Structure 1
Amino acid sequence: MSARVVSLTGATGFIGSVLRERLVARGVEVRALARSRGGTAEDGTKWIKGTLEDEHALAELTRGADAVIHCAGKVRGRDARDFDAVNVQGSKRLMEAARLGGSCERFLLISSLAARHPTLSWYAASKFEGERQVRAVAGAIPVCIFRPTAVYGPGDRELRPVFEWLLRGWLVTLGQGDSLLSFLHVDDLVSAVMQWLDAPVVQSQTFELCDGQAQGYNWASLASIASDIRNAPVRQAVMPAAVLKGIARANLVLSRFTRRAPMLTPGKVNELMHPDWTCSNALISATLGWEPRILLRQALRNHLF
């Protein structure tokens, strides 16, 4: 591994925590940003207390780092400004700190496949604009952008309930019956990051990542997989789009009183109803030699979520 010191954001989150453990296991010196932690942990991680709004913390985080991996991101928000503050401005500040630090040789932004369709939601728009801002201020630092599809695995709180109910014999379907979905296990995403770190030379590129299932999945194929695993039928219940949109609008109204950012918003409904979330690993496989190893069927069968 060419990088000796790696700066990491989002290290306490679902993807970032798995990545941090893998980096530490590989003998990399990890500097991780966190709101409530500081000092050096038993595993050697140097925690930098601060946020993406704190320029001093970002300078300390990136000082002397060979590589910067930006996993932090906001997935819940009451308006576009909530998302922009973190996914756009926070990403830009981190890139600026990495450039000013003078030692960063490569920068990786963990974005989202949603950035491919920025008009769908506040979140998608912020991920797209965050990518643009990072590239704009990178200077000579090569910027790689990973756009994974829906990531799942141990520690994930979003897809786990869906998979648990699926294996119990229930599937709530959204959108059109022939909507195409794709997934990626967190271990495969982390292995892709390791391939990026191991690459002797990197160039600024954007990669889409999924588990490699040809043509992705639709609701019928998900039900079929679960039915095979449990050796029993899976009942499908259709969630009408009007009901989902009504709940989303009510969530926004309620958030004005609770001051809590909802997950289900009208924009999120647009994402859920989008007809095609498939992608291809061709570019990243050709460039970095990465191939996913865990198909959804295997993960469900072995409860790898």
Structure 2
Amino acid sequence: MIQTVALTGATGFIGSHIVEKLLSSGFHVRALTRSPPAAGQRNGLTWVRGSLEDESALNELVYGAQVVVHCAGHVRGKNLLTFTQANVEGSLRLLNAAENSLSCKRYLFISSLAARHPELSWYAQSKVAAEQQLIENASSVSIGIFRPTAVYGPRDKELQPVFTWLLRGLLPQTGSSATQLSFLHVYDFAEAVAKWITADVHNETPYELCDGRPSGYRWSDLQEIGESIRHKPVKVLKIPLPLLKSIAMLSTQVSRLTGKEPMLTQSKIGELTHIDWSATNVMITSNIGWTPTIQLERALRDGLF
């Protein structure tokens, strides 16, 4: 039987790749969106107009679906309440719709590696709170949790500028030179989602996901990768903490004038300067058999970003 997957965040960077992977793997997808894209009609894909605040839309979204993949959420916000309303309360409303449906049995929550350290930021705090409350409130629906590290790839707007500058010879560095970073290509991430669905696992323990490089990357590793691809030097530009704080203050002030959520806040600086973002795929590989295929150097060499 062809499974139907209810998906949130389908018009975003990661969600759009999940849509493509699920459709190519033979799933039917029901995707939530505030405004269906004009060129987004495809066989096997049904758009459901609405948002995480709209309970009737959520009920329509999960209708006939066996699995929910919750990819939507806020990554920017001016205070903890902003993140809580979107990332916690929205996740619980979706769970309630899934619980009340006659078909949905599994719910995959796309969290973040940041949830490993909720003390670092409002975003991280909201993600771990959502994980905990989903597990506590689920009864007939099995909860799964993905904690991906920094995801990049085609259509990404966050890391793409960093990698572009790296290949031009300039690498901006936040935090210590000893910082351990990790990355995950969006193609591998979408594959992991499809693999989780077909594996039919029932495990509430969060799965970390990264590209598999042991101990992750230091800034010097990124510099070496850039130099190897360019065949020219890469200059590391260290951004001091006082400058980051000043940028965060300016970003917050601009957000008040524009009404848009700030790009950088004092809270977010905790994530940017944390010393250890290494990750391991041991548990997810053991449980569902997923392994990544694209490491960062290959992606940058082949233009897969």
TM-score normalised per structure 1: 0.96
1:249 maps to 249
Residues 1:29 and 2:28 aligned together: yes
The aligned length equals 304
Q: Cα deviation per residue 1:178-205 (whole Å; 9 max; x = unaligned)?
A: 1110000001111111110111443333
1:20 maps to 19
1:297 maps to 297
Please tell me the residue identity of whatever aligns with 1:126: S
Q: Is the 8 A contact 2:113 2:208 kept in 1?
A: yes
Q: Cα deviation per residue 1:80-125 (whole Å; 9 max; x = unaligned)?
A: 1111111010001001100111311211011100111111111111
Which runs of 5 or more residues in structure 1 are unaligned?
A: none
1:167 maps to 167
Provide the rounded CA distance (Å) in 2 between the counterparts of 1:203 and 1:182: 24
Structure 1 residue 37 displacement after superposition:
2.1
1:113 maps to 113
Provide the rounded CA distance (Å) in 1 between the counterparts of 2:292 and 2:14: 16
Query: Could you say what secondary structure the match of 1:167 adopts?
Result: helix
Residues 1:150 and 2:150 aligned together: yes
Residues 1:50 and 2:50 aligned together: yes
Cα RMSD over matched residues? 1.5
Provide the rounded CA distance (Å) in 2 between the counterparts of 1:242 and 1:212: 33
Residues 1:131 and 2:167 aligned together: no
Provide the rounded CA distance (Å) in 2 between the counterparts of 1:255 and 1:201: 42
Q: Is the 8 A contact 1:99 1:138 kept in 2?
A: yes
2:191 maps to 191
4+ runs deviating over 3 angstroms: none
Please tell me the residue identity of whatever aligns with 2:301: R
Provide the rounded CA distance (Å) in 1 between the counterparts of 2:210 and 2:201: 23
Q: Is the 8 A contact 1:38 1:46 kept in 2?
A: no
Residues 1:100 and 2:96 aligned together: no
TM-score normalised per structure 2: 0.96
Provide the rounded CA distance (Å) in 2 between the counterparts of 1:283 and 1:42: 35
Query: Could you say what secondary structure the match of 2:134 adopts?
Result: helix
Query: Could you say what secondary structure the match of 2:5 adopts?
Result: strand
1:11 maps to 10
Provide the rounded CA distance (Å) in 1 between the counterparts of 2:185 and 2:140: 32
Provide the rounded CA distance (Å) in 1 between the counterparts of 2:177 and 2:54: 46
Provide the rounded CA distance (Å) in 2 between the counterparts of 1:159 and 1:51: 27
Please tell me the residue identity of whatever aligns with 1:43: N
2:225 maps to 225
Structure 1 residue 255 displacement after superposition:
1.8
Q: Cα deviation per residue 1:112-160 (whole Å; 9 max; x = unaligned)?
A: 0011111111111111111112112211321110000000000100000
Q: Is the 8 A contact 1:8 1:71 kept in 2?
A: yes
Provide the rounded CA distance (Å) in 1 between the counterparts of 2:96 and 2:80: 23
Query: Could you say what secondary structure the match of 1:46 adopts?
Result: strand
Query: Could you say what secondary structure the match of 2:206 adopts?
Result: strand
Same amino acid, percent of matched pairs: 50
